[in-house]
Structure 1
Amino acid sequence: MSDIIRFLERMGEDVRLRDASAAELELALAQAHLEPEHGAAVLAGDAARLQALLGLGTLMAVQLPAEEEEEEEQEDEGEEPPPSEESRRREAVLA
């Protein structure tokens, strides 16, 4: 089983192998000395079959939306915010 995992890892890392033609991929599989069933599943691009051969169960992920935080109302709603230090300096220079 580890041979097929190593081959799949190599296939993911090597762009030439990932984009190889069927003949090139078949040659690489033969050189890797994999089980014939594993090689056939890789050549067919059959991930479900490969998962079954490796004894992997169903892969599942669950996503839930995050709880929305309530927006706090500003106490001084309607009032202008206090002037910043920079705006006070500008007013002093202009005066």
Structure 2
Amino acid sequence: MSGTKVDLETLRAAIKEYESIKEDLVVAQLNGEVLTTIKGAGRDTPSQVYANWANAAGKGHQLSNDQLQKTLTTRIENLKATLRQYEQTEQGNRDNLK
């Protein structure tokens, strides 16, 4: 039977890094909200076409950002659950050795 060795410090560092990335995404989403409300420079057709395109692109980026945040949230929660499980197992092993 082969075992998998888990370095808990590496796991903690990964959680912190994912949380930092998620925080950056939240800031980017807040700052990028303005990209979903672009107005044309004038009432002419090219300005309106550009504004519509820019708004659609901004909304697409915001949606991608939101989906990535949700993915990271799930990954962070899973890693934290794994960390808790390993910590409980280690504590149980220490208690059994006493």
With the shorter chain as reference, the TM-score category is under 0.3
TM-score by length of 1: 0.23
Decide which structure has the larger Cα Rg and report it: 1
**What is the TM-score with the length of structure 2 in the denominator?**
0.23
Higher helix share goes to which structure? Answer: 2
